[in-house]
Structure 1
Amino acid sequence: MSTRAVFALPPGARAYPLHTARGDFAVVESDVPAGVARKGTALFVPGFTGSKEDFTLLHGPLTARGYRVVAVDGRGQFESDGPETDESAYAQDELARDVLAQAAAVGTPVHLVGHSMGGQVSRAAVLLDHSPFLSFTLVSSGPAQISDSQQQRVKLLRDALGTMTMAKVWDAILAMGPPEEVGGPAQGIGDVIQLRRRWLGNKPAQLLVAGRQLCTEPDRVAELAAVPLPFHVLSGSQDDTWPVPLMDDMAVRLRARRTVIPGADHSPNADEPLPTARALADFWDGRAPGDDD
């Protein structure tokens, strides 16, 4: 893991390797400030081509509300290690078990938050074992595979990864348009130099498997609805990856709280962090083991 920060940390945060039963994972953690009563801990799981930095702008408002924040790089993402070419290490079940190990190392129970593909990995973790979690929030993460238009973009990225170096793929991403629109990282968390360094930290096998998973993910909403946890479906008012009405319907099927953040797109955590943090903290407030929605 890198010992030199690529991105500025949120005020008061610390970056370190989280030691778990399944290896070390890079995290950024912010604790509740002095004078604020701690209400709980939230574990944030990033999406495809993302990283723990996608949640940077949520740390301050959430810790001010009493919630310790731990954002993690998954296996083979940015500053968390993983094999370069062994795709079996990135099977969804393996990543789900990583999330369970991360939760155990952070100290359960935790509120689980998964963004985009991270929501589907987190869903798989909840379906394996929901007991470490107080609640589960899916942020801009739909019920099954991504939209047809996004599948085409992911396929282009996967084809490029099969024939080009990571550096050359990054150059191709920039040539195609804004990175967040062509399979690259979300906007709002750094400049192009920082985002390039993050991109180069990803393992190609992880990106290949994740892209394939996004294009083939089955609908597991009925399974998730049977789990005795409070659910929250949060998204922007626009989303090209999963249409907003699809997430509306998923929330109904889950009997979940539904939050739509006006003016936000696929990354409300970066586009509109203050209302996103407020919605998360409002959902968590007062929840304790055994509570239901």
Structure 2
Amino acid sequence: MTTPINFTPPPGARAYPLRTARGTFAVVDSPVAAGVEPRGVALLLPGFTGSKEDFHLLHQPLAVRGYRTIAVDGRGQNESDGPADDESPYAQEELAQDVLAQAAAFDTPVHLVGHSLGGQIARAAVLLDHSPFVSFTLVASGPAQISVSQQQRVKLLHDALAVMTMPEVWEAIMAMGPPEEVGGPARGFGELPMLRLRWVNHKPAQLLATGRQLLVEPNRVAELAAVPLPFHVLSGARDDTWPVTVLDDMAVRLGAHRTVVPGAEHSPNLDRPLPTAHALADFWDKNPQA
């Protein structure tokens, strides 16, 4: 596992390596606030080029609502190790099995939250086995492949990764202005040096494999709708990766609770963390752990 450097957890939370049946994953684990009755546990999965730090601003407001939250770096993301050149461990089913192992490590059913790519990986995990989960929230994560404009930009990233090092690609991204779904390195949880470090920590094979998944992901909404879990579709009021109207339709097909966070775009957890946290907690309150 990569040695953590400079990625300080938010106040009250703890960063540590979570040991599972499928290996070790870097997590930020935030307990329920002192004096608050525990109401549940949530597992938070970041998006493409993202990391566990994308959820930093959600931990405290969820802690005071009674929820322990664990944000995880997936295999090959930031501080979780993985092969740099072999793409096979990053196949979607492999990553979904990782999610099931992460959930199992807490020995209690969890509320599952996936942002963007993390939502599609989480969906694959739920379709393999929904029993570890109390509910499933898709945050700015659509029913199938990303929009045409974002597909073009992911393809540009793939072309760059084929001929450039990770530091060189970072410089190219900064020069061209990052697209929304490839925008994790340029906006998010910290200053540019930390964001650059996160980018360099990512394994190229992980970015290549998961980027390809975003280009070809099939529509599995009908399969997901057959799973006996409460669903929540949460997004900003604007999203170029999956248009809000597409997310609206997916929510209807799933019979899901729907939240649109005003003033937020593709990352409501970063753009408007407080209303996003309240929306998550309100949904979980209505779907408590047994």
TM-score w.r.t. structure 2 length?
0.97
Change (3 A) 1:195 1:283: same
- The aligned counterpart of 1:136 is 136
- The aligned counterpart of 1:88 is 88
Deviations 1:223-274 (A, max 9, x none): 0000000000000000000000000000000000000000000000000000
Identify unmatched segments of 5+ residues in structure 1: none
Q: Percent identity?
A: 72
- The aligned counterpart of 2:67 is 67
Change (3 A) 1:22 1:4: closer
Name the SS of the counterpart of 2:163 in structure 1: coil
Deviation of the 1:10 alpha carbon: 1.0
Give, as a single letter, the amino acid of the residue that structure 2 aligns with 1:107: D
Contact 1:7 1:190 in 2 (8 A): no
* Counterpart-to-counterpart distance in 1, 2:212 and 2:278: 33
Change (3 A) 1:176 1:182: farther
Give, as a single letter, the amino acid of the residue that structure 2 aligns with 1:33: A
Corresponding residue pairs, total: 289
Give, as a single letter, the amino acid of the residue that structure 1 aligns with 2:262: P
* Counterpart-to-counterpart distance in 1, 2:150 and 2:266: 12
Name the SS of the counterpart of 1:106 in structure 2: coil
- The aligned counterpart of 2:225 is 225
- The aligned counterpart of 1:276 is 276
* Counterpart-to-counterpart distance in 1, 2:181 and 2:200: 16
- The aligned counterpart of 2:43 is 43
Give, as a single letter, the amino acid of the residue that structure 2 aligns with 1:183: V
Name the SS of the counterpart of 2:68 in structure 1: strand
TM-score w.r.t. structure 1 length?
0.96
Deviations 1:154-204 (A, max 9, x none): 000000001100010000000001x35472316231111000000001000
Give, as a single letter, the amino acid of the residue that structure 2 aligns with 1:272: R
Give, as a single letter, the amino acid of the residue that structure 2 aligns with 1:88: S
Name the SS of the counterpart of 1:227 in structure 2: coil
* Counterpart-to-counterpart distance in 2, 1:39 and 1:245: 33
Change (3 A) 1:229 1:182: closer
* Counterpart-to-counterpart distance in 1, 2:96 and 2:116: 14
Contact 1:241 1:266 in 2 (8 A): yes
Deviations 1:13-47 (A, max 9, x none): 11000000000000000001220000000000011
- The aligned counterpart of 1:149 is 149
Name the SS of the counterpart of 2:228 in structure 1: coil
- The aligned counterpart of 1:198 is 198
* Counterpart-to-counterpart distance in 2, 1:192 and 1:70: 24
Counting only pairs closer than 5 Å after superposition, residues 105-144 of structure 1 correspond to structure 2 as 105-144=105-144
| RMSD, aligned α-carbons | 1.2
- The aligned counterpart of 2:13 is 13
Change (3 A) 1:15 1:289: closer
Identify unmatched segments of 5+ residues in structure 2: none
* Counterpart-to-counterpart distance in 1, 2:26 and 2:106: 12
Give, as a single letter, the amino acid of the residue that structure 2 aligns with 1:240: D
- The aligned counterpart of 1:184 is 183
Runs of 4+ in structure 1 over 6 Å off: none
Counting only pairs closer than 5 Å after superposition, residues 155-166 of structure 1 correspond to structure 2 as 155-166=155-166
* Counterpart-to-counterpart distance in 2, 1:41 and 1:62: 10
Deviations 1:107-127 (A, max 9, x none): 320000000000000000000
Give, as a single letter, the amino acid of the residue that structure 1 aligns with 2:73: D
Deviation of the 1:9 alpha carbon: 1.6
* Counterpart-to-counterpart distance in 1, 2:181 and 2:232: 28
* Counterpart-to-counterpart distance in 2, 1:106 and 1:219: 30
* Counterpart-to-counterpart distance in 2, 1:10 and 1:261: 23
